[in-house]
């Protein structure tokens, strides 16, 4: 199994108790399997290797002697102990009184935060013919951290190994956190954890565990399926003891909880603990950090995306909770989906970041976009929520398999093609140039231009995410609205660094272009980041820009694509997003961007080359001839330049001819 059990690595058992009760004798009896007549004041610390302990955990046994150790040393040892055995002599009432008057307060004092489990051990039963257990039970009721009690004899060896086994068990499978002896019921924290586990296992979300779900649960927790007979027996026990433990031949939540309290009452704490640990709980019944935040190395030039497995898990989760199958999550469905998490992963503003339906409910597409965004910008949160949602249990491996680390960006640039699926685009422009509207247009595909403009945009989030088709492949594009405070403010490195930059200006405002022209020269001209200049508000009158170059001339001078016109009222609003995604997916491979030039026969050829797997050599020759393609002014020039360069490549000559020919006859 890949998921590591978060069990303690060693168990440290400390024996305390008044002088002469038999601490040292107990340890030596365990080790030599015979009663030592002469004992030293204090036994040396003993380490028992994992393979000879019942729970397969290395165990240290530590003695205490008031004659040899100071009070400070005792306190130190109590602090280090994972369990303390308080030894008393059954024939010595004073040693019993001292449990409550001295030892318990001392142990509590040294473990102020989380209680240290305690085992009460009555030694020297060979000397008496009565039991002290009744009195001990009273003490146990008073102190919930006392896990158990046992009577034994170092002299006759009675219950010696049992005593150490109980001590080990008190550490590994403590009762106190999961069961309240006083209330004779599971603790609230344990119930909460088991309710979450029940929900995760209830794959069809009908509030019941059927035989298949129970079997899967059993296999995942204990690596073995349930025998049909055992299933029947379990249900029979429930039917006998509870009115509504079984319904429609399935186990109800009430039945599931009842079974666990039964295990614990019968001393089978380890069963419940195995289940709890499998689902990520630590000794305090919190979800452990190791479980929620597995480590994954991400090189600085790489990003993180959902893997096929992660995608599959989340799709399945969506289908489970989209009860009405309308491909969107209603508020109730959303709440149900994340009811196994302490809080939902996203706040109410998510509807302003990703696609929703007309009711504002997050669609499947929006849901996947949101996961993609979270995986890109806040990987630990993705791991955390996958953990809450039970990924580790379903897949029987850590959340790291739900994520893939992309290859470093410098390799993408060298190959002029990226294998990534999620790209970040920074939308930069002067205030009022139309950045936020452009970002909103990206997700509000069901709204027309008028509704888009009339929408209340206060509290607009800084990014929107949607899917875009790039040469037949679905890519996710994150548009980040870079809020420019002051035109003279410099951009910070994290505001510049992205996969593609979208510089916006307002065609109707003569002072608008200058800002992005300066931004381009200062931050992007020398960088490897592809840039698209977008002329916003194209439905308004275009005015002359008060800058030394007009936008088209500027683009020509810097060999970048001519300004892309954009208007919320326009018909081809999505073009701009396809272009941005394409530029991000094929950084510095401008031939791929030819797609943007409508009706060009070359467009189709590039398309063919990119869609159909071609020998790499072809693509290389093709690219070499397109290298100077930055200077693209209009369709005709593109056509001729490309045509001429290509004609020079004999290997491709025939192909070009064919493409041109087919285009003509159509």
Ligand X SMILES: Nc1nc2c(ncn2[C@@H]2O[C@H](COP(=O)(O)OP(=O)(O)OP(=O)(O)O)[C@@H](O)[C@H]2O)c(=O)[nH]1
Residues that bind Mg ion (CB under 5 A): 23-24, 41, 65
Residue closer to ligand X (CB basis): 124 or 409: 124
Q: Can residue 342 be called a binding residue for ligand X (CB under 6 A)?
A: no
Q: How far is the CB of 42 from Mg ion (least distance, A)?
A: 5
At its nearest, how many Å lie between Mg ion and the CB of residue 338?
56
When binding is defined by CB under 6 A, the residue of 55, 126, 270, 575 that contacts ligand X is 126
Q: Which of 24, 132, 269, 590 lies at the binding interface for ligand X (CB under 6 A)? A: 24
Per-residue binding string, ligand X, 369-408, x by CB under 6 A, is: ----------------------------------------
154 binds ligand X (CB under 6 A): yes
Q: Looking only at residues 521 through 540 of this chain, which bind ligand X when binding is defined by CB under 6 A?
A: none
Judged by CB under 6 A, the residue of 82, 132, 153, 252 near ligand X is 153
When asked if residue 41 is in the footprint of ligand X (CB under 6 A), the reply is yes
Cβ-proximal residues to 585 (8 Å cutoff; 6+ apart), any chain: 417, 418, 420, 423, 470, 471, 475, 592
Residues touching ligand X, count (CB under 6 A): 20
Q: Among 413, 397, 409, which Cα is nearest to 304's? A: 409
Of 60, 65, 100, 556, the one binding ligand X by CB under 6 A: 65
In angstroms and rounded to an integer, the radius of gyration of the C-alpha atoms of the chain is 35
Query: Is residue 77 involved in binding ligand X (CB under 6 A)?
Result: no
- Identify which of residues 122 and 174 has a Cβ nearer to ligand X in the complex: 122
Task: For residue 142, give Cα distances in angstroms to 90, 100, 147, 173, 249.
Answer: 20, 9, 12, 20, 41
With CB cut-offs between 5 and 8 Å by kind, which of ligand X, Mg ion, none does residue 46 bind?
A: none
Other CB atoms within 10 Å distance of the CB of residue 206:
12
What tokens were used for 150? 């046992």
Q: Which is nearer to ligand X, 67 or 665 (CB)?
A: 67
Alpha carbon separation from 664 to 303, 655, 659, 661 (Å, rounded): 44, 14, 9, 5
Backbone angles phi, psi at 334, to 5 degrees: -60, -45
Q: Which range in 65-73, 129-137, 572-580, 653-661 contacts ligand X by CB under 6 A? A: 65-73
Q: Which is nearer to ligand X, 86 or 581 (CB)?
A: 86
Residue 406 binds which entry of ligand X, Mg ion, none, with Cβ cut-offs from 5 to 8 Å by kind? none
**Pairing status of strand 500-506 against strand 473-481:** unpaired
Q: How far is the CB of 102 from Mg ion (least distance, A)?
A: 17
When asked if residue 633 is in the footprint of ligand X (CB under 6 A), the reply is no
- Per CB under 6 A, does 19 bind ligand X? yes
Q: Which two tokens stand for residue 138?
A: 């009273």
Q: Pairing relation of β-strands 11-17 and 83-89? A: parallel
Name the DSSP letter for residue 349.
G
Contact between 23 and ligand X by CB under 6 A: the answer reads: yes
Shortest Å distance, C-beta 161 to ligand X:
14
For 192, the token pair is 């909460």
Tell me the DSSP string of 209-252. E-HHHHHHHHHHHHSSPPPHHHHHHHHHHHHHH-SSSEETTEEE
Establish if 127 lies at the interface with ligand X (CB under 6 A): yes
CA distances 85 to 14, 17, 590, Å, are 6, 8, 74
44 versus 232: smaller Cβ distance to ligand X: 44
Give the residue from 582, 653, 660, 658 showing the smallest Cα distance to 618. Answer: 653
Q: Which is nearer to Mg ion, 43 or 328 (CB)?
A: 43
Site for ligand X contains 582 (CB under 6 A): no
420 close to 303: Cβ distance less than 8 angstroms = yes
Per CB under 6 A, does 20 bind ligand X? yes
Q: How many other CB atoms sit within 10 Å of the CB of residue 526?
A: 8
Other CB atoms within a 10 A radius of the CB of residue 227 amount to 11
Decide whether 36 or 601 has the Cβ nearer to Mg ion: 36
Cβ-proximal residues to 292 (8 Å cutoff; 6+ apart), any chain:
280, 383, 384, 387, 388
Q: Shortest Cβ distance from residue 213 to ligand X (Å)?
A: 51
Cα-based distances in Å from 602 to 511, 597, 618, 620: 37, 9, 15, 17
In terms of C-beta distances under 8 Å and separation of at least 24 residues, what long-range contacts does 45-54 make, across chains too? 53/11, 53/168, 54/165, 54/168
CA neighbours within 13 Å on the CB side: how many for 45? Answer: 10
* Nearest-CB residue for ligand X: 22
Residue with tokens 């109980």: 166
What does the CA dihedral 408, 411, 413, 417 come to, rounded to 10 degrees? -100
Q: Write down the least CB distance from residue 296 to Mg ion, Å.
A: 50
Judged by CB, which is closer to Mg ion: 19, or 109?
Answer: 19
Min. distance of Cβ 160 from ligand X in angstroms? Answer: 9
CA–CA gap between residue 571 and residue 586 (Å, rounded): 26
Write down the least CB distance from residue 267 to ligand X, Å. Answer: 25
Of 126 and 542, nearer to ligand X (C-beta) is 126
With CA atoms as reference, report the closest residue to 190 among 251, 275, 112, 268. 275
Cβ proximity of 429 and 515 under 8 Å: yes
- Out of ligand X, Mg ion, none, which partner does residue 155 contact, by CB within 5 to 8 A per kind? ligand X
3-state secondary structure of 509: coil
Q: Are strands 146-151 and 179-180 parallel, antiparallel or unpaired?
A: unpaired
H or E element that contains 96? helix 93-98
Contact range with ligand X by CB under 6 A, out of 6-14, 59-67, 241-249, 377-385: 59-67
Structure tokens at 7: 């069990």
Q: How far is the CB of 75 from ligand X (least distance, A)?
A: 16
> Should residue 124 be labelled a site residue for ligand X when binding is judged by CB under 6 A?
yes
Residue 553 in the binding site for ligand X (CB under 6 A): no
Residue 21 or 350: which CB sits closer to ligand X?
Answer: 21
- Cβ proximity to Mg ion: between 34 and 141 the closer is 34
Stretch of 151-159, 225-233, 509-517, 565-573 contacting ligand X, by CB under 6 A? 151-159
**In the complex, minimum distance from the CB of residue 181 to ligand X, in angstroms, rounded to a whole number:** 28
Q: 19 or 249: whose CB is closer to ligand X?
A: 19
The least CB distance from residue 310 to ligand X, in Å, is 57
Question: Token match 């931004």: residue?
Answer: 519
Residue 539 binding result from ligand X, Mg ion, none, given CB thresholds of 5 to 8 Å by partner type? none
By CB under 6 A, residue 543 contacts ligand X: no
Q: Compute the distance between CA of residue 186 and CA of residue 366 in angstroms, rounded to an integer.
A: 40
Q: By C-beta, is 122 or 280 nearer to ligand X?
A: 122
Partner touching 127 among ligand X, Mg ion, none, CB below 5 to 8 Å by kind: ligand X
46 binds ligand X (CB under 6 A): no
Tell me the helix, strand and coil percentages in the chain, rounded to 5.
Answer: 45, 15, 40
Site string for ligand X, 194-233 (x = CB under 6 A): ----------------------------------------
153 binds, among Mg ion, ligand X, none (CB under 5 to 8 A by kind): ligand X
Q: Note whether 433 binds ligand X by CB under 6 A.
A: no
Where do contacts with ligand X occur on this chain (CB under 6 A)? 17, 19-25, 39, 41, 65-67, 123-124, 126-127, 153-155
């Amino acid at each position: 199994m890949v998921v590591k059990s978060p069990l303690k690595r060693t168990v440290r058992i400390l024996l305390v108790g008044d002088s002469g009760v038999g601490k040292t004798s107990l340890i030596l009896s365990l080790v030599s399997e015979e009663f030592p007549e002469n004992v030293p004041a204090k036994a040396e610390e003993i380490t028992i290797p994992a393979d000879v302990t019942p729970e397969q955990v290395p165990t240290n046994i530590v003695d205490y002697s008031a004659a040899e150790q100071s009070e400070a040393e005792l306190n130190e040892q109590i602090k280090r102990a994972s369990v303390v055995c308080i030894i008393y002599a059954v024939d010595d009432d004073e040693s019993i009184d001292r449990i409550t008057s001295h030892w318990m307060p001392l142990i509590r004092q040294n473990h102020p935060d989380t209680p240290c489990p305690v085992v009460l051990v009555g030694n020297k039963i060979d000397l008496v013919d009565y039991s002290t257990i009744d009195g001990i039970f009273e003490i146990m009721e008073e102190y919930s951290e006392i896990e158990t009690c046992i009577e034994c004899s170092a002299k006759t060896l009675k219950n010696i190994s049992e005593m150490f086994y109980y001590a080990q068990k008190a550490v590994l499978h403590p009762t106190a956190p999961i069961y309240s002896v006083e209330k004779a019921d599971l603790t609230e924290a344990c119930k909460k954890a088991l309710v979450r586990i029940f929900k995760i296992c209830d794959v069809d979300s009908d509030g019941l565990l059927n035989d298949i779900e129970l079997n899967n649960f059993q296999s995942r927790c204990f690596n073995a399926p349930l025998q049909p007979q055992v299933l029947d027996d379990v249900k029979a026990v429930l039917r006998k003891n509870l009115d509504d433990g079984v319904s429609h031949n399935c186990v109800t939540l009430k039945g599931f909880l009842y079974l666990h309290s039964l295990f614990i009452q019968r001393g089978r704490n380890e069963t419940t603990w195995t289940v709890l640990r499998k689902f990520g709980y630590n000794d305090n019944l919190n979800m452990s950090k190791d479980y929620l935040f597995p480590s994954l190395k991400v090189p600085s030039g790489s990003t993180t995306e959902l893997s096929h497995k992660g995608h599959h898990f989340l799709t399945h989760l969506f289908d489970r909770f989209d009860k009405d199958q309308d491909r969107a999550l209603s508020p109730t469905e959303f709440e149900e989906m994340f009811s196994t998490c302490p809080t939902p992963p996203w706040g109410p503003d998510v509807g302003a970041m990703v696609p929703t339906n007309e009711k504002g409910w997050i669609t499947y597409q929006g849901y996947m976009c949101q996961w993609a965004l979270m995986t890109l910008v806040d990987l630990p949160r993705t791991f955390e929520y996958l953990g809450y949602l039970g990924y580790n249990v379903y897949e029987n491996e850590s959340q790291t398999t739900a994520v893939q680390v992309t290859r470093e960006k410098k390799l993408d640039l060298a190959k002029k093609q990226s294998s990534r699926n999620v790209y970040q685009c920074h939308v930069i422009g002067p205030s009022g140039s139309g950045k936020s509207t452009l970002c909103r247009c990206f997700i509000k595909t069901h709204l027309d231009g008028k509704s888009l403009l009339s929408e209340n945009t206060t509290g607009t989030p800084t990014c929107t995410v949607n899917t875009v088709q790039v040469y037949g492949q679905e890519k996710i594009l994150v548009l980040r609205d870079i809020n420019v405070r002051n035109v003279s403010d410099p951009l910070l490195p994290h505001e510049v660094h992205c996969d593609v930059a979208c510089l916006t200006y307002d065609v109707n405002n003569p002072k608008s272009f200058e800002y992005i022209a300066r931004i381009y020269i200062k931050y992007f001209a020398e960088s490897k980041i592809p840039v698209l200049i977008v002329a916003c508000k194209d439905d308004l009158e275009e005015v002359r820009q008060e800058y030394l170059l007009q936008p088209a001339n500027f683009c020509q001078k810097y060999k970048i694509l001519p300004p892309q016109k954009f208007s919320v009222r326009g018909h081809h609003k999505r073009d701009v997003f396809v272009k941005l995604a394409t530029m991000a997916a094929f950084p510095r491979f401008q031939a791929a961007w030819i797609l943007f030039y409508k009706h060009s026969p070359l467009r189709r050829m590039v398309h063919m080359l990119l869609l159909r797997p071609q020998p790499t050599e072809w693509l290389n020759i093709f690219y070499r001839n397109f290298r100077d393609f930055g200077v693209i002014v209009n369709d005709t020039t593109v056509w001729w330049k490309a045509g001429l360069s290509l004609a020079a490549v004999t290997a491709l000559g025939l192909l070009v001819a064919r493409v041109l020919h087919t285009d003509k006859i159509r």
